[in-house]
A and B are shown apart, each in its own frame.
Chain A
Amino acid sequence: AQSVTQLGSHVSVSEGALVLLRCNYSSSVPPYLFWYVQYPNQGLQLLLKYTTGATLVKGINGFEAEFKKSETSFHLTKPSAHMSDAAEYFCAVSGKSGGSNYKLTFGKGTLLTVNP
């Protein structure tokens, strides 16, 4: 079974500072990996995804994430935080094959606060 661990339920940064949101997964084979963002009272929006190929993935709004198989990690970063980045961020995985490869398994989420 797959699982996702997001370290830190709440991360607070200053505007302009580096954003680092941590995600580790547990899976028998490397899964597909996703980061979603949720703004208040809205649904989830895909930030970026890793399926195959280059392990450094760039997404929307200046975010990027790097798949590190040896560390089973997929941490999300942004060089300079903006006030508009304040939201909840979810890491998710799905399998590459098998009968349930469409199911997303989510982490518990990390609430990002950006201070002026």
Chain B
Amino acid sequence: GAGVSQSPSNKVTEKGKDVELRCDPISGHTALYWYRQSLGQGLEFLIYFQGNSAPDKSGLPSDRFSAERTGGSVSTLTIQRTQQEDSAVYLCASSQGPAQAKNIQYFGAGTRLSVL
């Protein structure tokens, strides 16, 4: 597709349930990022994938959060045993090449997660 695609656009879940959020990056982009946007914390970096390199998971807030990227393309962010504080918009971005600040990060519309 033309841009970064995320699904679902909205997700409502009950506390304690697991959720999976999907990101389809722009075709040909080798770098993929996940960010979280919440009212209290603003926009926070979560995780970064580049090609076959080990991902940078330094932004994941707890071990309930994990992410994978299959075949160097689609990525899934999984949140286990969701808590109310996980409610946020989860944004995915991709960029053209290896990690360089000059590479523009293109963002998807996000998945709005609500934990009841």
Contact = CB atoms under 8 A, between A and B. Distances in A.
Given A43-B107, A44-B107, A51-B101, A102 B48 contact: yes
B116 interface: no
Interface range, B side: 20 to 34
Nearest to A90: B43
A49 B104 contact: yes
A99 to B, nearest CB: 8
Contacts of B42: 106-109
B78 interface: no
A106 B43 CA distance: 6
Contacts of B95: 102
A51 B101 CA distance: 8
A94 B101 contact: yes
A96 B99 CA distance: 10
Which of A51, A101, A104 is the most central at the interface, judged by chain B CB atoms within 10 Å of its CB?
A104
Nearest to B43: A106
29 contacts: A31-B101, A32-B102, A42-B109, A43-B4, A43-B91, A43-B108, A43-B109, A43-B110, A44-B93, A44-B107, A46-B105, A90-B43, A92-B43, A95-B101, A96-B101, A100-B56, A102-B50, A102-B99, A102-B100, A102-B101, A102-B103, A103-B45, A103-B56, A103-B59, A104-B43, A104-B45, A106-B43, A106-B44, A109-B43
